[in-house]
Amino acid sequence: MQRTTTPRSEFDKEVAALAPIEPERFAANTGPAKIYFQWAQHDMYISQKSADEYFNAVGGPKEQKWYFTSHEFNDAASKSDRASWLMHSLGIKAGAH
């Protein structure tokens, strides 16, 4: 895992650089926007606990789905579900261009 091999000073620099865009800074302010969370069961970066915290922090309409995949989401199911959710949320009919 990268965290165990990265020198602490380098890791701290990366954390500081990413802090302004961390999801938890924005989760509570999603307003009426619909949020669709897709979680990977074998994610080396996001734990089940973190996923639960992010999901629970969002106050507006939300859905979540777990996939038997890794952080990269290289599976067909998550891609298909994401496209279906977006099309439904945006009112786009299948086959419409």
Instruction: Tell me the per-residue pLDDT of 32-76, one tens digit each, with 9 for 90 and over.
Output: 889 999 999 999 989 999 999 889 988 889 999 999 999 999 999
Tell me, what's the pLDDT at 3?
61
Q: Is 34 helix (H, G, I), strand (E, B) or coil?
A: coil
Residue 17 is predicted with a pLDDT of: 93
The reported pLDDT for the residue numbered 96 is 61
- The tokens for 56 are 């629970």
Percentage of the residues of the chain whose pLDDT score is greater than 70: 94
Q: What is the pLDDT of residue 89?
A: 92
Residues in the chain: 97
